Structure 1
């Protein structure tokens, strides 16, 4: 059978449960994944005076063909987008500004330095998200930024965050798609602190000053992101989960959960339903931690499927902002984007094709036997045939055939880069 015939046969199996497959595919088309630009250049950015990675961040591997300038990065992103179904967003960091060869420190960046990104996004029908880059800088070398005891250093990063939010607002106005501007800091201590309250008090004060400057929520939404620990901050992290949960709730900003930023026994999938009870919207950075926050390329594993199930079952497709956060320099960087993003979309489709209403009813009836049986049987329903058809109607390669295009691009483009 060809793709269409397999789709029709699979569709009939799902329709027995009242699942409208055609309607699901239409809904899936409208979901935008925010694809992390930093996978393409190992988070180095394009500042005139480039700095080494710091803040507990490291990209391992030396696969050839890394993007060396904004033009190459946009070209690589375009190549990846051609292999991913749907129209999505690109998530930028401040270090991807284009300043025309002039050194501009981070507290002086301007929206005009991102005009090329906006023009490219318009041309390709994409949205943009944004992040201040509060690491890999001499004013972050001691591992402290917005919580630093030195007021001058805190003020530098406050200015950087304020202008970053204005850049996010500019993106939203220009592209007609609301930008999410997310703040993450590496602040913490390697060894046991003698004062836990002081740094958090300073961070709270810094954030309050940042958000005193208002942006239009039609164009820019703000989020804050916690972390459990980092390299060089193993004993204490200023921006803990408890800190940001409370700050976000009190200050009307979004709380962003990164799947690698919790204790290994914690699962973000279990947190989503609780968060949705208290926040209108929440944001995610979907990554794959291996033993720790290692930012591996996401795979179609149980936790990714559980995250997607929670979003779908809670009718929260319009309330959860999904971004990706991984970087692997040991494999083809464009392939990493394609694998990770396609897996995120696959997980959402998988969740949408479950008889979620029936499963909820069985739980309320305390019919746990039927619930478990159905959950297990649906694992082998012909989901793959639906996914292949979705790729076909979105004019992207089916199954692993996209690898042929990656190999062509690697030979004709990446191999020529030093």
Structure 2
């Protein structure tokens, strides 16, 4: 049974502050300085039952690095979408102000079939009107990340998108990306995302198209940072690596199987499961991120992470209870993922930012009439300066 640091720490302790370290029924309150040495295997901690020598688990080196090296993120945002039927609301802008987050703009680009080469954008005024309201607020737009939708529905699984004419698609897509790059330039938006979960189009066979698209944008907007938003498996897959390297920042949408537990109430101990999901998951994602960042000398951005606030929300991105429409709301699902992400993932020096998914249902974690737990966690970690 591994030892773990107690879960309810909401501020950074000092070197001589006491921190609870637990193993089953055994608890030791030790100083942070001694716990650091324990994590490195240089210290022994005694309880009435036994003497334990570090390290905390098989990932001791990575976990101890996170404790020893405080790393702060450059970009901290929440995703907001704009489509034909809705836009980013003033309430959504206000909650970002309260939390201290910026916003990632996700405009919908429409197709009418899964093989369509004709992509339809909405009127520019829908995007610029929202950007003008954001500009007048205390937050900033940090990214434009277009989502290809089927009949303006973002539930469309872009894995199935396979345009019938690849050269025509890339010609049309390049024109759209150039147009959004110009909006980025006008509104001082630092990042443009040029793909989102378009897995059939980011295979290595099409890497030349992505190279051309990247170079075309950079030739007109050299300071604009280019990024992709691939699925986790897409990012780690060697057959997509050549296409995804054409970016200034590496990235992925980080949806994992965080636990098999069904969350009831707010008492379940889930943080250890979440931490393990980052380090011992089927994708070995932390290791792959570090390898790719070192290989290409680039940093990493989590373009999406989030979950539904329902009892099985941490089991999979689209939980069974949501599909069967028998779920019960539970805010502690989302707040647990937030804390786990901020504590156990964000201290990796290769990570420079995240865009939390999402301000709209069914991923929403805030309210205009009350302060929900997820909003409180964002305020603590983002506005409080802990990440």
Report the TM-score range of the alignment, normalised by the length of the smaller protein.
Answer: 0.5 to 0.7
CA RMSD of superposed structures (Å): 4.8
Contact 2:80 2:360 in 1 (8 A): no
Aligned-partner Cα distance in 2 for 1:76–1:303? 21
The CA deviation string for residues 208-249 of structure 1, in whole angstroms up to 9 with x for no partner, is 443342232423422241354xxxxxxxxx786333334333
The answer for the alignment partner of 1:183 in structure 2 is 195
Q: Match of 1:280, SS?
A: coil
The answer for the alignment partner of 2:291 in structure 1 is 274
The answer for the alignment partner of 2:251 in structure 1 is 256
Higher strand share: 2
Matches within 5 A, 1:124-273: 124-125=137-138, 126-137=140-151, 144-145=160-161, 147-148=162-163, 150-151=164-165, 154-155=166-167, 157-187=169-199, 200=203, 203-215=206-218, 216-228=221-233, 241-249=237-245, 251-260=246-255, 265-266=282-283, 268-269=285-286, 271-273=288-290
When normalised by structure 1's length, the TM-score is 0.50
Aligned-partner Cα distance in 1 for 2:359–2:175? 26
The CA deviation string for residues 82-126 of structure 1, in whole angstroms up to 9 with x for no partner, is 431x25123322359xxxxxxxx7356675552212211211142
Aligned length: 274
Question: Does residue 46 of the first structure (1) align with residue 78 of the second (2)?
Answer: no
1:343: how far off?
3.4
The answer for the alignment partner of 1:371 in structure 2 is none
Question: Does residue 69 of the first structure (1) align with residue 86 of the second (2)?
Answer: yes
Contact 1:225 1:244 in 2 (8 A): no
The answer for the alignment partner of 1:286 in structure 2 is 305
The answer for the alignment partner of 2:51 in structure 1 is none
C-alpha change, 1:218 and 1:283, in structure 2 (3 Å) is same
Higher helix share: 1
Q: Match of 1:221, SS?
A: strand
Q: Match of 2:131, SS?
A: helix
1:132: how far off?
2.5
Aligned-partner Cα distance in 2 for 1:341–1:309? 19
The answer for the alignment partner of 2:105 in structure 1 is 91
Contact 2:103 2:143 in 1 (8 A): yes
Question: Does residue 79 of the first structure (1) align with residue 70 of the second (2)?
Answer: no
The CA deviation string for residues 275-314 of structure 1, in whole angstroms up to 9 with x for no partner, is 4423422110222463333389863437853564443353
1:178: how far off?
0.5
C-alpha change, 1:164 and 1:325, in structure 2 (3 Å) is farther
The answer for the alignment partner of 1:42 in structure 2 is none
Aligned-partner Cα distance in 1 for 2:292–2:132? 35
1:329: how far off?
3.5
Contact 1:34 1:90 in 2 (8 A): yes
The answer for the alignment partner of 2:128 in structure 1 is 115
Match of 2:354 among 310, 322, 338: 322
Question: Does residue 343 of the first structure (1) align with residue 355 of the second (2)?
Answer: no
Aligned-partner Cα distance in 1 for 2:121–2:381? 40
The CA deviation string for residues 346-391 of structure 1, in whole angstroms up to 9 with x for no partner, is 45799959xxxxxxxxxxxxxxxxxxxxxxxxxxxxxxxxxxxxxx
